[in-house]
Structure 1
Amino acid sequence: MTSIATAAAPAAPRSNALWAALGRNRLSWIGLGLLLAIVLMAIFAPWLAPHDPLKQNIVSRLEPPSFEFWLGTDSYGRDVLSRLIYGSRVSLMVGFVAILIAMTIGSSLGVLAGYLGGVFDRLVMGLVDVLLSFPTLVLGLMIAAMLGASLENLIIAIAITEIAPFVRVARAPTIALKNRDFIEAGRALGYSPLRLMGVHIVPNMISDVIVLGSLWMASAIRTEASLSFIGLGVPPPTATWGSMIREGFEHILDAWWLTVFPSLAILLTVLALNLLGDALRDAIDPKLRSE
């Protein structure tokens, strides 16, 4: 009984290590600050945007940055800053929801495959190998093209492309944990496999999955921008960073602000997520933590 009571104990020190790593790594605070600023910008978009992001004003089309339009206007006379602010909502929502879906499905399959083994494990890993054989963007493009351009289909397409890494990350520690003494003690006490996986295995590997999620959310945002750039993202006139870059590509020589500012927004968001993810990775990796 004592072994079972301490089953989730390894998870507690790891959570303390996460906070300790954030405290030691100054770059992680830069990433956290950037990400928090972008999230707040998305939440308070209606109050921060100086103009209606969908309002067209042909008289003011392709105006460079000025006091009235801080980041200029696009080919339809719409304020670039307002569209940039509202575009953060789409990018963050797509990235977060897609990774949450991929994390849930992938981790569940990984834990089941690692714990059950046998034929089920071989089938799951075979599917993972098939998904990993395609580049992320190519696979997302294929799925988005089959489903059609919409916000929901974009999330589904990106989520499917990100499932495979979570399966592998969840499967490996499950295989290592399923033969530990506290799991054997749980089996001896008659605990169901579902309880052993959900209560005693998942808490000891969830931090690995969360770290991977923070890193792959950056990948999801890049994929969303790429698919929007080629016209397979959220349909216009909804503002997204990828579609803003695509719209400005035709005027890249005479209206540089149309592509530069959305590109900088993607760069800062991905940088923030990578800095935060690297700090979390350092915290859970004992080799990196000891250096």
Structure 2
Amino acid sequence: MTIEVASVAVAQPSRLWVAFSRNPLFWLGALLLAVIIMVAVLAPLIAPHDPLEQNIVARLEPPSAEFLFGTDNYGRDVLSRLIYGARISLMVGFVAILIAMTIGCTIGIVAGYVGGALDQVVMGVLDVMLSFPALLLGLMIAAMLGASLQNLIIAIAITEIAPFARVARAPTIALKQQDFVIAGRALGFGPVRIMGVHILPNLISDVVVMSSLWMASAIRTEASLSFIGLGVPPPTPTWGSMIREGFDNILDSWWLAVFPSLAILLTVLALNLLGDALRDAIDPKLRGE
């Protein structure tokens, strides 16, 4: 029995790797995201200029050999600010989704496992949160907390808690009726152990798939909040604030808004491609099994 279980455990990652290798969209998304992450990590080494250095003489210069992506209203290099802005967008998206995933999954698993009045109360609160569009809810929270990096992460994390909770709750309700959970209770295992050791591993794949997709949503929300002035305060470069700065000069200085918009597009595209590939690889129906 032990040998059979071990062989299944080894075969599962093997089947997933085969599914990934046959999906060209996975490789495209992985390559795009790897390049963006590498650019963010190596920003001090590859940025051609200081992103905060002002040069009024070179104000609003179009793309050239010296400034590949042009300069902004203060003569700052757009390419350098774009590279450093990747750090903010990726960090906000990753940290916010990590917080939302941890809190949301905990709430969903506990509500689904305990059931009864607790489940009804929790679902009522989640339904209220889901009734607001994510951007509107994030806007209200960010406006109350004020503009800062920490408040931006908190606002985006709160908007994503309810979706994670719902994703975790539904399979928990089904799993708690399974024989292995009933056997665990018969052996005297406590609720915390059953939820953490027996239920959580069986729904983690769904959560990972959704986290990649919702990280793309978090990056879009961060850009939207930065665009309206509720993101990281200037002069720290962020893609959303760069688009906002270029909005007033969109007809004369197109590069100010176009390049950060393309950066957001490529990042969201990479995360969505990875999320779709993960879903196709994990779901046996989509693999044709």
TM-score of Structure 1 vs Structure 2, range by shorter chain: over 0.9
Question: How far is 1:14 from its partner?
Answer: 5.4
Matched, 1:75 2:73: yes
| Amino-acid identity (%) | 75
5 Å-filtered alignment, 1:61-140, equals 61-140=59-138
Question: How far is 1:288 from its partner?
Answer: 1.4
In the TM superposition, structure 1's runs of 4+ consecutive aligned residues that sit over 4 Å from their partners are 8-17
Match of 1:145 in 2: 143
Q: How many residues are matched? A: 288
5 Å-filtered alignment, 1:121-270, equals 121-270=119-268
Question: How far is 1:20 from its partner?
Answer: 2.8
Match of 2:48 in 1: 50
5 Å-filtered alignment, 1:268-279, equals 268-279=266-277
How far, CA to CA, are the matches of 1:186 and 1:10 in structure 2? 22
Describe the shift of the 1:179–1:159 C-alpha distance in structure 2 as closer, same or farther (beyond 3 A): same
How far does the alpha carbon of each residue in 1:9-60 deviate from its partner, in whole angstroms, 9 at most, with x for none? 9887654443332111101100000001100111010001000000000000
Query: What letter matches 2:287 in structure 1?
Result: R
Unaligned 5+ runs, structure 1: none
Describe the shift of the 1:11–1:171 C-alpha distance in structure 2 as closer, same or farther (beyond 3 A): farther
Match of 2:279 in 1: 281
How far, CA to CA, are the matches of 1:262 and 1:209 in structure 2? 29
Match of 1:35 in 2: 33
**TM, length-normalised to structure 2:** 0.96
Query: What letter matches 1:69 in structure 2?
Result: F
Q: Which has the higher contact order (CA 8 A, sep 6+)?
A: 1
Query: What letter matches 1:158 in structure 2?
Result: I
What secondary structure sits across from 1:210 in the alignment? helix
Query: What letter matches 2:99 in structure 1?
Result: I
Describe the shift of the 1:244–1:213 C-alpha distance in structure 2 as closer, same or farther (beyond 3 A): same
Unaligned 5+ runs, structure 2: none
Query: What letter matches 1:124 in structure 2?
Result: V
How far, CA to CA, are the matches of 2:9 and 2:241 in structure 1? 42
RMSD: 1.9
How far, CA to CA, are the matches of 1:9 and 1:184 in structure 2? 25
How far, CA to CA, are the matches of 2:15 and 2:222 in structure 1? 32
